[in-house]
Structures are given as C-alpha cells and as structure tokens.
Amino acid sequence: DAKTTQPTSMDCAEGRAANLPCNHSTISGNEYVYWYRQIHSQGPQYIIHGLKNNETNEMASLIITEDRKSSTLILPHATLRDTAVYYCIVSRVKAAGNKLTFGGGTRVLVKP
C-alpha cells in the first residue's frame, strides 16, 4: 500500500474551514484514500473515503487531485470538538479484508 505524508500539526480557528493536506505520490489505481480521526485516546472515527472523485458527507469533503497524488480533507466549519489527530490512509481493496496502515497523522488544534 502507498505511503502518505502529512504535516505533523496545524492550528485552525473555530468556525473557519480547516484544510488538511495529504501527499500520496505513489498511490496505485486501485487504492482508496481514507481519512480517520482520533480524539484523545478514543478509538479512531471514520470520516470519509474516495477513489477518484471528490466526495462529501455530513462531516467533511475530500478533494483528490486529478493525478491522485495528493488530497485535501476539508472540515467546513471547525469546532472545538474537531480537535484531534487526523490520519490519511491509502489502502488497496483486497478480498481478504481492508487493512489500514496508520501513520503519524496531523494533530489539529481548533482554537477559539
């Protein structure tokens, strides 16, 4: 599975959009981009995933570049409860289960 590169940390202002970048320059055509977050020491929480097209759900939007070498997770209106570590993961679809490889992630601090 392709490796990902994310900033170690970033701050954003409450109420503003938070844009989290992720580089996955070695991604293959059959690999999905997943985003999860982990608040404090809780279990990770799924946010969104995509293959080629941009995706949006009630939590966030995922923008994938045309060459698929990078993506951006957008939290449209960050709140204090969005403070967490955000993981960008690239994973290949396999019949034997979807194995996720978590890197270091981006520690996001939402400030009042």
Partner 1 sequence: NAGVTQTPKFQVLKTGQSMTLQCAQDMNHNSMYWYRQDPGMGLRLIYYSASEGTTDKGEVPNGYNVSRLNKREFSLRLESAAPSQTSVYFCASSVGTVGEQFFGPGTRLTVL
Binding site for partner 1 (CB under 8 A): 32, 41-46, 49, 87, 93-105
Task: Give whichever of 6 and 70 is closer to partner 1, judged by the CB atom.
Answer: 6
Task: Give whichever of 18 and 35 is closer to partner 1, judged by the CB atom.
Answer: 35
- Shortest Å distance, C-beta 87 to partner 1: 6
Q: What residue type is 52 in one-letter code?
A: K
Tokens coding 62: 């995922």
Would you call 34 helix, strand, or coil by DSSP?
strand
Cβ–Cβ under 8 Å, residues 103 and 7: no
d(CA 37, CA 45): 5
Task: Give whichever of 42 and 53 is closer to partner 1, judged by the CB atom.
Answer: 42
Cβ–Cβ under 8 Å, residues 93 and 30: yes
Would you call 9 helix, strand, or coil by DSSP?
strand
Task: Give whichever of 13 and 109 is closer to partner 1, judged by the CB atom.
Answer: 109
